[in-house]
Structure 1
Amino acid sequence: MESQYNKEDVEGILSHFFIRGKVASITPFGSGHINSTFYVKNTDSNEPDYLLQKINHSVFKDVPGLIGNILLVTSHLKEKLKDVPGADPDKEVLTLVETKSGGFFTKDANGNYWRVYYFIKDTKSYDQVETPKQAFETGKAFGRFQKLLSDLDAEQLCHTIPNFHNIEMRLQQLHDAIDADPKGRVKEVEFIIDFINERAWQMGAVLRAGREGKLPLRIIHYDTKLNNVLLNKNDEVQCVIDLDTVMPGYVAYDFGDAIRTIINTSAEDEKQLDKINLNIPLFKAYTEGYFAEASGFLTENEIESLSHGMVLLPYMQTVRFLTDYIQGDTYYKIHFPGHNLQRSVAQMQLLNRIENEYDVLKGIIKDVAY
């Protein structure tokens, strides 16, 4: 457990929620960069286990808006799944636990915000795709997620992180960090800055198409990593999780972010660059899974935009990791000095690999879509 929270502290926080049974143990859970998550095991096997999360309100500044988004989206998903034969909304959609004061989050004496989800048992997640079936199921998960939300007005959701995938703003943040250079790190990263600047215009294609009305605004996930999908014991999709960034956006963003992790033969922070290669069969499997669910609502322009997304998102992460490194590692959790720089270089290498195979990958999208 994180050093600043002992069992008594966490049990005190849990006492604000309608928790059934009694706490047997509380342990840190998951591999997320942003929030702090604890697995709460129940003493009574007939009662649910829980996930307690401290919401990082330096990242998510509008916590009531964030919780409102999650309630709106999960309620809509459950309502839509009621009409799907064989579906179980409570096992396929996250459920927030209500507080005793009538809300869905609480604030502790130190000003930290907390929420509780029911833990979905008999599921698993992976940090890296291991099989084509997992890639296919992950594609299905996010395709279905977008499809089920395609008839919900995106304007009803607030932007929990404004301009999250606005590449123009991300580049401006980078250039502001370069100008300030608070830690004196710019000189050592000039080769990455040159790489980024050479591609800046082409990477604005999705944003420009959206502004011109060529792409519809959808409700998207914004963090489509494999470990944000729970699979059942047969490696079949069960539930999409980590809904903090669900907000209005373009489908290319979600497709590109998924491809960024699924196609990569190594971790996103791989130090040995020669290990970073593309697993094209996994790319094809993800694309097939995605279109198995999403083909019915996507426009032709959206399908065309997916290939832009697959280069934009590794580029975006190159920019974001580098910005955080220059600023002094203030956003992402790091595990050693220079971690964000290592992440940025790895994403740059991944983008190089994708650019080299761009025509092949775009051809796969076209073949699957049509």
Structure 2
Amino acid sequence: MPGIDNTAEVVSHFKCAADANSCKAYGSGHINDTFLLKNVSAAGPDYLLQRINHNIFSDVERLTDNMRRVTEHLKYKIREHGTGDPLKEVMTLIPTDSNRFFYQDSTGDYWRMFYFLSDTKSYDVVQTPKQAYEGGKAFGKFQYMLSDIPAGQLFEVIPDFHNIQKRLQYLTEAVSKDTCKRVQYVSAELQMVEKYAEDMQYFQQPGQAAVLPKRVIHNDTKFNNVLLNSNDEAQCVIDLETVMDGYVAYDFGDAIRTIINTTTEDEADLSRIKLNMPLFNAYVQGYFKEASKFLTDTEVNSLMKGALLLPYMQAVRFLTDHINGDIYFKIKFEGHNLQRARAQLRLMQMLDANAGAMHQIIVNEMNSYKTAKY
């Protein structure tokens, strides 16, 4: 992760009490660079400072406006229910000295700052059913609290972010250009992508929009985007750059992608990739505790489609980036994106083999809440 050469300049433009000399790299995000800064007072809150990757998020102003609107709405809903602490359960943006929520420095980089939520933790790999349950509850509640924002209100930060037709088109273009002469080494992966391509276009089928509602969703529900407290209870959903319209199945699918896998998303040994069904069951239970309050039957029936699509789509994205020369995702070694793609394709195949049974678990859980109402 690149460091900061102008920490004092950046920090001086935010309304904060951060110690610029305490700046340290923080987290494991693929896209932005994140740093932790201590408060000059031991009693004060610490801060997270992020350098926004404006090569990916090109309209920083509208992106930031999305985040402001969403965090304000979430805080309002928590206060309205009177059962939580909005400062602990929602990320809080720190304004600049010009009362904006981002700063562009003298080198052209864009920055934002949040209060650091202390005594929290996140997991790249889910370890217990309790963690999975809490993750499901967190993302279900997140969707529920945003379900009264009509579609079309937020800026589309990354157009067609979960449009698999577009992702396959980008892959085809990368293969055609073959800029780094890597295509000859990925024929097996390309064949597998092609094998499943037609089935994965469920959400782009004609007429789908008429029966499946679009809602404001997170769009990046990796499990490490939920902060848990010291008791492994969900506290806050983070990384809100991609909050925009989409299908709830996208969020469900991406969460399952990271929760059900018995190892990491970039596992090199494909034989280690297995489905942890107790974690799936726990996540579904937690998710429907909140999401059952607003989901339609059509949305429930689409969830397993999302669970198949998201690892497939992630594989397509990793493979595309590998062919293009690793220009989007951060890598730790040459071939990292290809390793990621292979792991995600393997996970997708295993989910496909168990899709019927998993769909029945989803339906049964939703029906248990319907029955409880009568």
TM over 0.5: yes
Match of 2:227, SS state, is: strand
Structure 2: gaps of 5 or more residues: 368-374
Counting only pairs closer than 5 Å after superposition, residues 48-59 of structure 1 correspond to structure 2 as 48-59=45-56
Between 297-306 and 20-29, report the one with greater CA deviation. 20-29
Cα distance between partner residues in 1 of 2:258 and 2:285: 16
Deviation at 1:352, TM superposition (A): 1.2
Corresponding residue number in structure 2 for 1:249 = 246
In structure 2, give the amino acid aligned to 1:286: Y
Q: Secondary structure at the match of 1:17?
A: coil
1:213, distance to aligned residue in structure 2 (A): 1.2
Corresponding residue for residue 258 of structure 2: 261
- The aligned runs of 1:108-187 (5 Å cut-off) are 108-187=105-184
| Deviations 1:290-327, CA, capped at 9 Å, x for gaps | 00000010010000000100000010011000000001
Please tell me whether residue 361 in structure 1 is matched to residue 354 in structure 2: no
For 2:269 and 2:256, how far apart are their aligned partners in 1? 20
Structure-2 residue corresponding to 1:230: 227
Structure-2 change in CA distance of 1:338 and 1:210 (3 Å): farther
Determine the C-alpha separation between the residues in 2 that align with 1:301 and 1:209. 15
Provide, for residues 167-204 of structure 1, a one-character-per-residue CA deviation record: whole Å limited to 9, x for no partner.
Answer: 00000000000111111111111111111111111101
SS in 2 for 1:213: helix
Q: Does 1:336 align with 2:326?
A: no
Query: Quick one: distance in 2 between partners of 1:350 and 1:226?
Result: 16
CA positional deviation for 1:209:
6.7
User: Map of 1:1-370 to 2, 5 A cutoff?
Assistant: 2-3=2-3, 5-6=4-5, 9-20=6-17, 22-23=19-20, 25-208=22-205, 211-370=208-367
**Contact 1:210 1:216 (C-alpha < 8 Å) held by counterparts:** no
Query: Match of 2:23, SS?
Result: strand
Deviation at 1:47, TM superposition (A): 1.3
Is the Cα–Cα contact under 8 Å of residues 209 and 215 in structure 1 kept in the other structure? no
1:44: Cα distance to partner?
Answer: 1.0
Task: Quote the sequence identity (%).
Answer: 53
CA contact (8 A) 1:24 1:43 kept: no
Classify the secondary structure of the residue corresponding to 1:38: strand
Which sections of structure 1, spanning at least 5 residues, go unmatched? none
Residue 217 of structure 2 aligns to which amino acid in structure 1? I
C-alpha distance 287-340 of structure 1, shift in aligned 2 (>3 A): same
Paired residue secondary structure (2:81):
coil
SS of corresponding position for 1:115: strand
For 2:156, the aligned partner's letter is H
Q: C-alpha displacement at 1:12, in angstroms? A: 1.4
Name the SS for the 2:160 alignment partner: coil
Residues 208, 168 of structure 1: alpha-carbon distance in 2 compared, 3 angstrom cutoff: same
After superposition, give the CA deviation of every residue in 1:60-115 in whole Å (9 maximum; x if it has no partner): 01101110000110111111111223300111001100000111111011111001
Cα distance between partner residues in 2 of 1:29 and 1:138: 22
- In 2, the alpha carbon distance for the partners of 1:184 and 1:172 equals 19
Closer, same or farther: CA 22–198 of 1 in aligned 2, 3 Å: closer
2: CA distance between counterparts of 1:52 and 1:295?
Answer: 36
Distance in 2 (alpha carbons) for counterparts of 1:96 and 1:177: 37
Query: Secondary structure of 1:155's match?
Result: coil
Report the CA distance between 1:23 and its aligned residue.
Answer: 4.3
Aligned equivalents of 1:72 and 1:347: distance in 2?
A: 33
Contact 2:11 2:20 in 1 (8 A): no
Post-superposition offset of 1:246: 0.4
RMSD: 1.2
CA distance in 1, matches of 2:208, 2:62: 25
Cα distance in 2 for partners of 1:169, 1:60 equals 18
Equivalent AA in structure 2 for residue 2 of structure 1: P
Q: Structure 1: which amino acid aligns with 2:274?
A: N
Supply the AA of the counterpart residue of 1:107: Q
User: How many Å separate the matches in 1 of 2:315 and 2:60?
Assistant: 28
Query: Aligned pairs, how many?
Result: 367
